[in-house]
């Protein structure tokens, strides 16, 4: 089985999802703890802005756009199809698109306004962060599906480090550019982790069902 998760990962995913929901409820009722932390981190980033930082963070936020994340998913899926891994390719697309839908629903459920001073291009609600959700889903998918299949341990280590560094820059850029509060990006990352692990847990059941009931997938590797 190409895609699988351990029981401890499932437990962590459940905890991550619960924490995300609790954080959303605390934000919804303006509970002092997350609000004060959000304000402190927001003010810190407001004081450290520089011309170079503006460039780096603008590039980071662009590369982590939800639409760009979908492109990443499509490119990875095409590569998987070429490698005759159609079912894993379907999992990638289904995970990212369904995760974005869940994020959209939660945004409207919690209906948190964005920070003052955000760019006009950053419209809609703030919690959870779509950038954080999207880029973390892509990173998690790569860590589950691609990185473990690289033979060189050094290469695996470096690629993992690069992925998380890129992800961290994207998340920080959303606070730096005043598009989100810290709790927004934290909730997006927690939701992404929970969602990818959940779909990976469901993958063996769905993959086996496709192989058994749909002739087109009969000889597909799962």
Per-residue pLDDT tens over the stretch 51-79? 898 899 999 999 988 899 999 999 999 99
CA atoms within 13 A on the CB side of 71: 7
Residue 199 lies in a domain: yes
CA 215 → CA 11, 89, 94, distances in Å?
35, 17, 20
Which domain does 178 fall in, by range? 7-215
The CATH number of residue 73's host domain is 1.20.144
Residue 188 lies in a domain: yes
Strand ranges (E), the chain: none
pLDDT at 114: 83
Residue 81 lies in a domain: yes
pLDDT at 33: 84
pLDDT at 1: 61
Residue 2 lies in a domain: no
pLDDT at 28: 87
Residue 222 lies in a domain: no
pLDDT at 183: 92
Split the chain (222 residues) into runs of 10 and give each run's mean pLDDT: 83 95 90 86 87 90 91 95 90 96 93 74 79 95 91 89 94 90 94 96 88 75 71
Residue 220 lies in a domain: no
- In the DSSP assignment, the letter for residue 179 is S
Look at the chain and report how many structural domains it folds into: 1
Question: In Å, how far from its chain's centre is CA 143?
Answer: 12
In sequence order, which residues have a C-beta less than 8 Å from that of residue 121 and are 6 or more positions away? none
CA 116 → CA 29, 50, 182, distances in Å?
19, 19, 14
Residue 1 lies in a domain: no
């Amino acid at each position: 089985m190409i895609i699988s998760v351990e029981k401890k990962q499932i437990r962590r995913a459940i905890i991550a999802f619960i924490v995300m929901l609790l954080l959303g409820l605390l934000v919804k009722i303006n509970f002092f703890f997350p609000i004060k932390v959000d304000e402190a981190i927001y003010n810190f980033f407001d004081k450290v802005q520089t011309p170079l930082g503006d460039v780096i963070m603008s590039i980071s936020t662009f590369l982590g756009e939800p639409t760009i994340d979908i492109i990443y998913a499509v490119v990875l899926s095409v590569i998987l199809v070429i490698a005759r891994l159609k079912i894993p390719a379907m999992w990638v697309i289904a995970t990212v698109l369904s995760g974005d839908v869940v994020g959209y629903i939660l945004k409207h459920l919690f209906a948190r306004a964005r920070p003052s001073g955000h760019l006009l291009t950053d419209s809609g609600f703030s919690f959870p962060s779509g950038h954080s959700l999207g880029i973390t889903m892509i990173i998690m998918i790569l860590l589950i599906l691609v990185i473990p299949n690289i033979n060189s341990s050094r290469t695996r280590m470096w690629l993992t480090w690069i992925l998380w560094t890129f992800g961290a820059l994207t998340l920080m850029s959303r606070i730096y550019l005043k598009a989100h509060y810290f709790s927004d990006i934290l909730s997006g990352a927690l939701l992404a982790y929970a969602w990818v692990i959940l779909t990976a847990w469901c993958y063996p059941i769905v993959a086996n069902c496709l192989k058994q009931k749909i002739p087109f997938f009969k000889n597909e590797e799962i």
